[in-house]
Amino acid sequence: MPRSRIMLDVLKGEAHFPPPLWMMRQAGRYLPEYRETRRRAGSFLDLCYDPDLAVEVTLQPIERFGFDASILFSDILVVPHALGRDVRFEEGRGPLLTPISVAEIMALESDVFHVNLEPVYETVRRVRAKLPDETTLIGFCGAPWTVATYMIAGHGTPDQAPARLFGYREPAAFQHLLKVLADHSAAYLIRQIEAGADVVQIFDSWSGVLDDATFDQFCVWPVAEIVRQVRAVHPDVPIIGFPKGAGARYRTYRQKTGVTGLGIDWTVPLAAAKDLQRSGAVQGNLDPLRLVAGGKALSDGVEAILNALGEGPLIFNLGHGITPETPIAHVEAMVKQVRSATR
């Protein structure tokens, strides 16, 4: 492993200035070259499962901006899809699934799970072979709670009410669903690591809607289970947890799940983030709308993060995914500001 993959050093707790930099959803609709490949692919899932095209879009933001890390192009919902659930993506509506019943949860399994996901593993192998040596490759999965919210509701919801209600009314079935997702997600990450991923990230986009007890049961416990299973096979591969909206629970989330790095959203106060750096690397946390706005809103936001967190282990990122309306010139300005920063 070349020493030059600085993101890996940061995840070991070293401080680097300027910090390594990448963006969540960096391959996406704000890029004209992505929209072009996306048109050729047909459906969004066809793009995820076509290694030729998935490699192409994974590499596009690296070629354009020279980020320190590349993230596999796929989606968190390939896991339920590979488990045999019906998953579609409709233009302007996001993901659509057939809501899962209690009986279907109890029967959920697939002996062709890895066969279905083989195109994703092939994408990881090919991306690693094409990436510059110094670029870190990130594999990922969704956290069981976040994936379950889509499986239960059948679509995105503002407050995940269908899944929360289901969790209260059908606790045994819901625990079973989370366990099946945790086991399969761990196996999925292990295969991505074996195909060449240097780091894996667990996206828990909806952890901000839970109370104390359900945060532990639905969010923390399944992620801890994934971390335990991945570490048993690959003890040295760093794992980043991104429990978006976890607020005051970020600290215990790291303690209880054992994740190496913490992805923090833009609502986490910088003073609290600095405190979190004492137990390991943090990744974030520019408001993606500062990147849309550009100008002073952008430069002030970047500067505040670098000033507050630049002396500790920091991976510069957005606090959530980049939005499609973001001007490319603003991304260029952000990259330039981070890269040319001096202490």
Of the listed pieces 25-33, 248-256, 272-280, 288-296, which binds ligand CP3 according to CB under 6 A? Answer: 25-33
Our finding on whether 245 is near ligand CP3 (CB under 6 A) is no
As a whole number of angstroms, the distance between CA 237 and CA 233 comes to: 10
- Which 66-125 positions form the footprint of ligand CP3 (CB under 6 A)? 71, 73, 75-77, 89, 94-95
Our finding on whether 171 is near ligand CP3 (CB under 6 A) is no
* Contacts of 204 by beta carbon, 8 Å cutoff, 6+ apart: 142, 143, 145, 146, 219, 223, 241, 242, 243, 244, 246
Query: Number of residues in contact with ligand CP3, rule: CB under 6 A?
Result: 23
Our finding on whether 281 is near ligand CP3 (CB under 6 A) is no
Residue from 16, 29, 128, 176 binding ligand CP3 (CB under 6 A): 29
Q: Give the residue with the Cβ less far from ligand CP3, 31 or 273.
A: 31
Our finding on whether 287 is near ligand CP3 (CB under 6 A) is no
As a whole number of angstroms, the distance between CA 242 and CA 102 comes to: 28
Residue from 44, 65, 67, 121 binding ligand CP3 (CB under 6 A): 44
Q: How far is the CB of 78 from ligand CP3 (least distance, A)?
A: 9
Around Cβ 25, how many Cβ atoms within 10 Å?
Answer: 18
Q: Give the residue with the Cβ less far from ligand CP3, 259 or 312.
A: 259
* Contacts of 200 by beta carbon, 8 Å cutoff, 6+ apart: 138, 139, 140, 141, 189, 192, 193, 230, 237, 238, 239, 240
- Which 135-164 positions form the footprint of ligand CP3 (CB under 6 A)? 140, 142, 146, 156
Q: How far is the CB of 65 from ligand CP3 (least distance, A)?
A: 12
Question: Which residues are marked as active site?
Answer: 25, 29, 38, 75, 150
Residue from 5, 38, 184, 249 binding ligand CP3 (CB under 6 A): 38
As a whole number of angstroms, the distance between CA 22 and CA 25 comes to: 9
Let me know: does 248 contact 280? Beta carbons within 8 Å.
no
Residue from 20, 28, 167, 313 binding ligand CP3 (CB under 6 A): 28
Burial of residue 259 (number of CB atoms within 10 Å: 0-12, 13-18, 19+): buried
Task: Tell me the one-letter amino acid at 50.
Answer: D
Tokens of 1: 């492993």
Our finding on whether 285 is near ligand CP3 (CB under 6 A) is no
Of the listed pieces 27-35, 192-200, 207-215, 267-275, which binds ligand CP3 according to CB under 6 A? Answer: 27-35
Q: How far is the CB of 68 from ligand CP3 (least distance, A)?
A: 14
Q: Give the residue with the Cβ less far from ligand CP3, 100 or 310.
A: 100
As a whole number of angstroms, the distance between CA 35 and CA 140 comes to: 22
Q: Give the residue with the Cβ less far from ligand CP3, 24 or 314.
A: 24
Our finding on whether 220 is near ligand CP3 (CB under 6 A) is no
Let me know: does 149 contact 48? Beta carbons within 8 Å.
no
Our finding on whether 227 is near ligand CP3 (CB under 6 A) is no
- Residue number with the smallest Cβ distance to ligand CP3: 205
In the beta sheet, which residues pair with residue 136? 69
Residue from 26, 123, 260, 277 binding ligand CP3 (CB under 6 A): 26
As a whole number of angstroms, the distance between CA 31 and CA 328 comes to: 7
> What value, to the nearest 5°, has the Cα angle with vertex 93 and ends 88 and 94?
55
Of the listed pieces 18-26, 223-231, 251-259, 281-289, which binds ligand CP3 according to CB under 6 A? Answer: 18-26
As a whole number of angstroms, the distance between CA 26 and CA 173 comes to: 36
In the beta sheet, which residues pair with residue 97? 87
Around Cβ 341, how many Cβ atoms within 10 Å?
Answer: 16
Binding site for ligand CP3 (CB under 6 A): 24-29, 38, 44, 71, 73, 75-77, 89, 94-95, 140, 142, 146, 156, 203, 205, 321
